[in-house]
Chains A and B, each alone.
Chain A
């Protein structure tokens, strides 16, 4: 399996660290609902098909990426930088 890092190009997935489901979003700091925090930490939709997931290019540019990948075929559909510090692509 290879991921195409927007900065480094097509690289073996071994260069990346898997960080799991990208749709699990931390509740706001002032959200005191146990259910919301529990869902964020523990509950996953675990789809068979397209999965949005976080990968970090640890052995490359160290950017966090949101990868769209099919969990049945391992086909990678897209890799996008994520977060406020994602550098602008040339």
Chain B
């Protein structure tokens, strides 16, 4: 069923009895052309672009939980492309192009809201760095604006820009075309659109092993409703984000340039509109925006130790909330509604991996750190291209697994091989 204003009206007149589920719940077939492991944003978008761009529709997406149970439903929904290195910049700008059309492409409202991302600066030196980054963005064709303190104050009236703030605001860098999108809708929209093109989405089906012929991956072993099964495919793509280490070990790949850590996020009770842009603190690490329901959605650093637990520790709460209150003192009286954690696949240079291999018949999509939500459209688009053609697209040819050994890491922060600093 196509979603439209007319469909809403028609169904309302019939008492809303005719709505159908957004995607089927098919039984697995024994054989597919392509299996994608992981029904997060990246797995679902890969399946959608395999079907819509490359005409490969005999595809299964295998998800161990329900759709949206992973990071795609846990992130703080920030979508931006304010990068410095050209490989990242071109890739994330491709994603922005896809974001702008996404609701139309999927016939599903993903509530993409380009409200602007504002990075604050608290020292003159930081203003220089922002000017440099803004210029690099412009060189790559990405709009950016350097704002002084008064412009920041006009844009963000709730912000403490007084000289007596703990970290006085000097100005900021704005990417006006960046913003937020509704994360669940992105998962559901891709799932529904892929399903309509014939993709089987197999929820509550866990991959517990790989089928191999020699070194070659020829399918997966699954656990579904307590029963073991086998599904074969010519090509198997892995897009399991924080679970990459776990899943790749099953295939015999014991080590990767990735470590898993937990990132926490927080949402406050709802208030009237108060933060118009996504705003980030420059004297620490905090990003905050306001959801359409009115809650303030915010997060900061990862809990820096390795973790596969989808929950973190209290020091991050203290750090993050104190930074929020340093920026917006009046938020001190708000109460937190919820907090949660997701497992991050932190790569050794902070940049992703979208590649063929590392085993024959296998394709890997991983290393998203905290930035993979904004990548969802371009990641799926590039991964689908890589799977269909057995070679990367120009947009992801730098995101290889062997770039570390080649001496070509893409280290946006210059933090070195310390995943917990990226």
Asked whether, in the complex, the Cβ of B246 is within 8 Å of the Cβ of A48, the reply is: yes
Please, how many angstroms separate the alpha-carbon atoms of A46 and B343 in the complex? 12
Q: Which residues of A contact B305 (CB under 8 A)?
A: 1, 13, 18, 53, 69
User: Is A82 in the interface zone, CB < 8 Å from B?
Assistant: no
- CB B130 to nearest CB in A, in angstroms, measures 29
Task: State which residues 333-351 of B face A: CB under 8 Å.
Answer: 348
The stretch from B217-225, B291-299, B308-316 touching chain A is B308-316
A74 within 8 Å of B by Cβ?
Answer: yes
Chain A residue at minimal CB-CB distance from B260: A46
Does B417 belong to the interface (CB within 8 Å)? yes
Query: Is B181 located at the chain interface by the 8 A CB criterion?
Result: no
User: Given A1-B313, A18-B420: A44 and B304 within 8 A (CB)?
Assistant: no
Is there contact, CB below 8 Å, between B258 and A44?
yes
Q: Does B66 contact A (CB under 8 A)?
A: no
Question: Contact string, A47-90, partner B, CB cutoff 8 A, digits 1/0?
Answer: 11001010000000000000001011110000000000000000
B307 within 8 A of A: yes
- B260 / chain A contacts, CB cutoff of 8 Å: 46, 48, 71
Q: Which residues of B contact A48 (CB under 8 A)?
A: 245-246, 260, 308
- Give 1 or 0 for each of B385-417: 1 = CB within 8 Å of chain A CB: 000000000000000000011000000000001
Which residues of chain B are near A21, meaning CB under 8 Å?
Answer: 259, 306
Name the A residues within 8 Å of B405 (CB-CB): 34-35, 38, 42
CB closest chain-A residue, reference B255: A43
Report if B7 contacts A (CB, 8 A).
Answer: no
The interface bits of chain B over 247-273 (1 if a CB of A lies within 8 angstroms of the residue's CB, else 0) are 000000011111110000000000000
In the complex, A66→B298 CA distance in Å? Answer: 33
Q: A53-B305, A53-B306 are in contact. Are A46 and B259 (CB under 8 A)?
A: yes
A46-B256 contact in complex given A38-B405, A74-B307, C-beta closer than 8 Å: yes
Instruction: Choose among A1, A38, A71 the residue that contacts B306 (Cβ–Cβ < 8 A).
Output: A71
Known: A46-B245, A48-B246. A20 touches B309 (CB 8 A): no
Instruction: Determine the chain A residues whose CB is within 8 A of the CB of B420 once the complex forms.
Output: 18, 20
Q: Report Cα–Cα, A43/B315, bound state, in Å.
A: 29
Are A41 and B404 in contact (CB-based, < 8 A)?
A: yes
Q: Does B418 contact A (CB under 8 A)?
A: yes
Kindly report which residue of chain B lies nearest to residue A73, judged by CB atoms. Answer: B309
Contacts of A18 in B (CB 8 A): 304-305, 420
What CA separation (Å) do A21 and B304 show in the bound complex?
12
Report the bound CA distance from A73 to B305 in whole Å: 13
**Max count, chain A CB within 10 A of own CB: residue among B260, B306, B315:** B306
Contact pattern, B 71-91, Cβ under 8 Å of A = 1, otherwise 0: 000000000000000000000
Residue of A nearest to B246 (CB): A48
- Given A48-B246, A71-B260, CB of A42 within 8 Å of CB of B309: no
Q: For residue B245, which residue of chain A has the nearest CB?
A: A46
- Cα distance, A39 to B255, chains bound together (Å): 9
* A32 at interface by CB-CB < 8 Å: no
B256→A43 contact, CB < 8 A: yes
Give a binary string over A5-25; 1 marks a CB under 8 Å from any B CB, 0 the rest: 000000011100010110000
Chain B residues contacting A14 (CB-CB under 8 Å) are: 315
Residues of A near B245 (CB, < 8 A) are 45-48
* Closest chain B CB from A18 CB (angstroms): 5
A74-B260 Cα distance, complex, nearest whole Å: 13
Nearest chain A CB to B56 CB, angstrom units: 31
Inter-chain contacts of B257 with A (CB < 8 A)? 42-44
A41 surroundings in chain B (CB, below 8 A): 348, 404, 417
Q: Are B309 and A71 in contact (CB under 8 A)?
A: yes
Instruction: Tell me the complex Cα distance, A21–B307, Å.
Output: 12
Chain A residues whose CB sits within 8 angstroms of the CB of B256 once the complex forms? 43-44, 46
Which residues of A line the B interface, CB within 8 A? Answer: 1, 12-14, 18, 20-21, 34-35, 38-39, 41-48, 51, 53, 69, 71-74
A-B pairs with beta carbons under 8 Å apart, 6 shown: A20-B419, A44-B258, A46-B259, A46-B260, A71-B306, A71-B307
A20-B306, A41-B348, A71-B309 provided; 10 other pairs, C-beta below 8 A? A13-B305, A18-B420, A20-B419, A42-B405, A43-B256, A44-B255, A45-B254, A48-B246, A74-B309, A74-B313
